[in-house]
């Protein structure tokens, strides 16, 4: 039986070379697309981590402000430090909510600080409220690439101040609200206004809502631990 030579012949060298060129071109296109997807995914992960870090820093600061308490402390040399001490770019305050899962013999009030250092927003905390001469805070970086950190304080008259407390204001007093602006090199300016809890009352209030005039109210010692009796 005779086999037709035209049906039994293989691919020519030209056909093989053309197929290899087409395959190489398709592989290059596919590899470029996959590489671009991988780069985009990596960049997205970095952006997500950055955004999550910014949200966490903003949340921590807002939480500390909302938990502010009218508890002055004693500084490193025995001086009384106001419950909230703030300037245009730095703030120090006493806050509730200091977790105590091991039921240690300590207060549930914590003294925290926020300040800028080398383009980093940092949170500091003191191990004790009333400090000794050598007491220093422990610092932790919150977010980097910070261009500026600005604070303002709203008083009872509705005026915004650059410093707190104002002159002739009790050390227990808290502002009605605090505005902070955090400017980041990559995200621009972030602004928040946080309402604070009320300060300790300076006069007693009767059952009908009018100030008591007969007896002076007994106020708690602002330097006494929370939960203690005067």
Q: Break the chain into its structural domains and give their ranges.
A: 13-206
pTM (predicted TM-score): 0.69
Prior bond of 74 cis (ω within 30°): no
Q: How confident is the model at residue 222 (pLDDT cuts 50, 70, 90)?
A: very low
Among 79, 84, 104, smallest CA distance to 95 is for: 84
In the structure, what pLDDT confidence band is assigned to residue 148 with cuts at 50, 70 and 90? very high
**To which CATH superfamily is domain 13-206 assigned?**
GSPII I/J protein-like (3.10.610.10)
pLDDT tens, residue by residue, 75-107: 988 899 999 999 999 999 999 877 766 666 667
**Secondary structure (3-state) at 189:** strand
pLDDT tens sequence across 128-144: 888 888 889 999 999 99
Provide the strand spans (E) within 96-187: 110-117, 120-126, 138-143, 146-154, 160-161, 177-184
Helices (H), 67-182: none
pLDDT of residue 210: 43
Beta strands across the sheet bearing 177-184: 160-161, 146-154, 177-184, 188-195
Q: Look at residue 104 in the predicted model and tell me its pLDDT.
A: 67
CA distances from 69 to 32, 34, 116 (A): 58, 55, 23
How far apart are alpha carbons 186 and 164 in whole angstroms? Answer: 30
């Amino acid at each position: 039986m005779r086999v037709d030579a035209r049906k039994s012949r293989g691919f020519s060298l030209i056909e093989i070379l053309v197929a290899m060129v087409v395959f190489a071109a398709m592989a290059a296109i596919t590899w470029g697309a996959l590489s671009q997807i991988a780069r985009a995914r990596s960049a997205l992960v970095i952006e997500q981590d950055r955004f999550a870090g910014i949200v966490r820093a903003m949340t921590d600061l807002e939480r500390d402000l909302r938990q502010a308490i009218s508890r002055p402390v004693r500084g490193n040399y025995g001086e009384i430090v106001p419950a909230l001490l703030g300037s245009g770019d730095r703030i120090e305050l006493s806050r509730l909510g200091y977790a105590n899962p091991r039921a240690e013999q300590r207060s549930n009030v914590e003294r925290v600080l926020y300040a800028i250092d080398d383009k980093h927003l940092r949170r500091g905390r003191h191990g004790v409220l009333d400090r000794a001469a050598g007491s220093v805070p422990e610092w932790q970086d919150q977010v980097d690439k910070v261009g500026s950190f600005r604070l303002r304080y709203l008083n009872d008259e509705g005026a915004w101040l650059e410093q707190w407390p104002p002159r002739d204001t009790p050390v227990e007093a808290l502002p009605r609200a605090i505005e902070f602006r955090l400017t980041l090199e990559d995200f621009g300016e972030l602004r928040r206004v946080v309402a604070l809890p009320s300060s300790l009352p300076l006069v007693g209030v009767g059952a009908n809502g009018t100030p008591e005039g007969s007896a002076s109210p007994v106020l708690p010692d602002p330097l006494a631990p929370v939960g203690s009796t005067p």
